[in-house]
Structure 1
Amino acid sequence: MNCDLYLASASPRRQELLQSLGVTFTTQPADIIEERSEGEAATDYVARLAREKAQAVYGILSAQNRWQTNTAVLGSDTIVTVLVDGVCQVLEKPRDFAHFQQMMTWLSGRTHEVLTAVHLCSTLGSWSVVVKTAVTFAELSEQEIADYWATGEPLDKAGGYGIQGAAGKFVQHLAGSYFAVVGLPLYETEQLLKQWRLAANNVE
């Protein structure tokens, strides 16, 4: 059975990573409100965002009569968490330089956790995973922080940095999935796709 896959993301990084798995897909960005509920755990939050992105595109395809039994939507989201004075701070995309500067100050000289959720939904079932990666930054000077902001790279990045770009030089240690930090964990995503293909083959 031919399987039609949609990626619920406009992120060029996620598109490139999904392409590296050798799959054919159509990009259909999702428009959802990305706002953490009061008291919502970081893991639950990122998993919900990935799920809601996939479901939003599912709704678009259904409304346009483009949804079939062999169609699936892949949604993903990434957030960064760091423990500061005993409080878990959830870091998303920087609103402005002051917000970015605060985030970089929190990340400087500390180990933080990058959480990337992937959710795959279809009429045959839904599958999801949250991948956690620990990243340790070196101590950052005010000048280094300002210089990095000036590159324009932090603007659309969770936690205010892209590990695959200029911020890679800040990383002292990484434990987990590098690709999850970039935006899409390759191994885990491939496993979800395998489950979907298996389900599709079983209805042939």
Structure 2
Amino acid sequence: MTSSSQTQEGLSTAPLLVLASASPRRIALLEQIGLVPDRVLPANIDETPRKGEVPRVYAQRMAAEKACLVASTIAEPALVLAADTVVALGRRILPKAEDRESARFCLERLSGRRHTVLTAVTVTPTSSWAQGRHGVRLVETSVTFSRLTVYQIDALLEAGDWSGKAGGYALQGHAASFIRALSGSASAVIGLPLFETAQLLRGQPGGWLA
């Protein structure tokens, strides 16, 4: 695995790759394709959806705001990578589960139904790297849950891997045994669409990936 400063023909002056997220899942996904961010700087922004905001627009706005905020704090040449994952039932945005009650709320509504996971990924160059290119991708994945009994929901809540997850579940966690079908990008559901992320990075001057 290499950091961005080591990938561009060994130049020590290569722009930094900064991940605007402290999510261990996104860090692990980047490592899966051979990338270690030079810095990890989570963005603290207001994640409240605007009135009438649809899931697609909300996901893209969140990723863009995270990237822009972090980019504004970095003086060196760098590319900031940010992402946001939203679980939607139609036009309804389900919350990130912060407690058992909100996780139960999500699981009861996902039970026996198909829903959409939207993950937006954005790369934004800092102002000191004029050659960098801004880029955005939005990935939509369809996920279908089997019908959950009260006992099964209780067991998922007890497992605890719902904490902080959009829609109250983790694809890589205990809920996987109740997912009947998935059409789209599994890595996007986990938090970072790897193909689209790689394409954005390959499109940058010098490239972080072969």
Question: Residues of 2 paired with 1:98 and 1:199: CA distance?
Answer: 44
Q: Is the 8 A contact 1:148 1:167 kept in 2?
A: yes
Whole-angstrom distance in 2 between the partners of 1:72 and 1:177:
24
Distance 1:12 1:199 in 2: 24
Who is 1:177 aligned against?
Answer: 185
Residues in 1 aligned to 2:59 and 2:31: alpha-carbon distance in whole angstroms: 23
Structure 1 unmatched runs, 5+: none
Greater helix content: 1
The list of structure 1 runs, each at least 4 consecutive aligned residues, that deviate by more than 6 angstroms after superposition, is none
Provide the residue aligned with 2:26 in structure 1. 14
Local SS of the residue matching 2:182:
strand
Which moves more between the two structures, 132-141 or 38-47?
Answer: 38-47
Residue aligned with 1:139, SS: coil
Shift of 1:3: 3.1
Matched to 1:184, the amino acid is: L
Q: Does 1:44 align with 2:57?
A: yes
Normalising by structure 2, we get a TM-score of 0.86
Shift of 1:98: 2.4
Which amino acid letter does the alignment assign opposite residue 106 of structure 1? R
Aligned CA-pair RMSD = 1.5
Quick one: distance in 2 between partners of 1:186 and 1:22? 11
1:109 maps to which residue? 112
Partner-residue secondary structure (3-state), 2:73: helix
- Secondary structure of the residue that 1:154 maps to in structure 2? coil
Secondary structure at the counterpart of residue 42 of structure 2: coil
Q: Indicate whether 1:79 and 2:86 are aligned.
A: yes
Report if aligned partners of 2:201, 2:207 keep a CA contact under 8 Å in 1: no
Query: Could you tell me the TM-score, scaled by structure 1's length?
Result: 0.88
Pick aligned residue for 1:121 from 88, 104, 124: 124
Structure 2 unaligned segments of length 5 or more: list them. Answer: 1-7, 9-13
Tell me if the contact between 2:85 and 2:120 (Cα under 8 Å) persists in the aligned partners: yes
